[in-house]
Amino acid sequence: MAFIRNILNSRSKQDGNFFMQLHQILGYKPKNIDVFKKAFTHRSMNIKDSKGNAINYERLEFLGDAMLSAVIASHLFQEVPSGDEGYLTKMRSKVVSREHLNELGRELNLIDLVESKIPAGQFGDNIHGNLFEALVGAIFLDRGYKYCEKFIYKRVITPHVDIENLEGKVISYKSLLIEWCQKEKKIFNYNVYEDTGNDDVRHFSVKLSIDDKIIAKARATSKKKAEEKASKRAFFAFQSKMSKMI
């Protein structure tokens, strides 16, 4: 790992400061600082090792995703003995949803540790969750499964995993609405169009129709956000019918 250390020592943050920030987040002193540096290196740095392999957080993100899924699955399996495969899968998806992982990354201010050639303000929301997954992957490589499990319990399960609340949590209102429409054989349509108006930032509006009747309208800075917002409004219009699918 010495070659990674030599390459990554060009960071603007000194090792000592980076180490202390990690210590506060992890709750223990990391053994291999290099793997954590890699967890916070963005691909825009275009760093490679001596074999030409890219040095950034993306592979650690993959590993962290797998570790999160395994630990969460084990917890749910033990806590809900009556839950079948479908129930457990849906509950796990709620815990490791992209929205929730982004929240976890923001809580820890992980973006402050990133080394990148891209300004922080230009990153999309998902970088917060990506970094959280990469951090979990780095913990696994640094100290193994037990430390990884302990971190996930401390940062994810204990503060955020409440079975009763999770059962009523909606991951995606759009996915829920589409599933309900397909089940009920209803025709739905998202009519999305650009609606910037006098705003400096690009906006999109959407009209959501079900069986040729406009049910909800919404406006946001992306098509995806506008559709999700309209779907949420439609959900509350049909809540008594759709809530059984949560």
Is the model's pLDDT at 9 over the cut of 60? no
Is the model's pLDDT at 227 over the cut of 70? yes
| Averaged pLDDT of the chain | 89
Please list the active-site residues.
65, 133
> 209, 233 in Cβ contact below 8 A?
no
User: 86: domain range?
Assistant: 2-167
Per-residue pLDDT at 10: 46
Domain boundary among 132, 167, 202: 167
Band (pLDDT 50/70/90 cuts) for residue 242 is: confident
Shared domain for 118 and 220, answered yes or no, is no
Shared domain for 204 and 157, answered yes or no, is no
Shared domain for 85 and 144, answered yes or no, is yes
Per-residue pLDDT at 2: 52
Band (pLDDT 50/70/90 cuts) for residue 243 is: confident
Shared domain for 153 and 86, answered yes or no, is yes
Is the model's pLDDT at 246 over the cut of 90? no
User: pLDDT digit string (tens) for 48-101?
Assistant: 999 999 999 999 999 999 999 999 999 999 999 999 998 899 899 989 999 899
Task: Find out whether 61 is annotated in a ligand binding site.
Answer: yes
Shared domain for 39 and 13, answered yes or no, is yes
pLDDT above 90 covers what percent of the chain? 67
Per-residue pLDDT at 155: 95
Instruction: For residue 191, give the CATH number of its domain.
Output: 3.30.160.20
Task: Find out whether 17 is annotated in a ligand binding site.
Answer: no
Task: Find out whether 130 is annotated in a ligand binding site.
Answer: yes
Is the model's pLDDT at 12 over the cut of 60? no
Candidate from 53-57, 116-120, 196-200, 219-223 with smallest mean pLDDT: 196-200
Shared domain for 111 and 204, answered yes or no, is no
pLDDT above 70 covers what percent of the chain? 92
126-152: average pLDDT: 97
One DSSP character per residue, 125-167 reads THHHHHHHHHHHHHHHHHH-HHHHHHHHIIIIIHHH--HHHHH
Is the model's pLDDT at 238 over the cut of 90? no
Domain boundary among 107, 142, 167: 167
24-38: average pLDDT: 94
Q: Rounded CA gap, 181 and 189, in Å?
A: 10
**pTM score:** 0.72
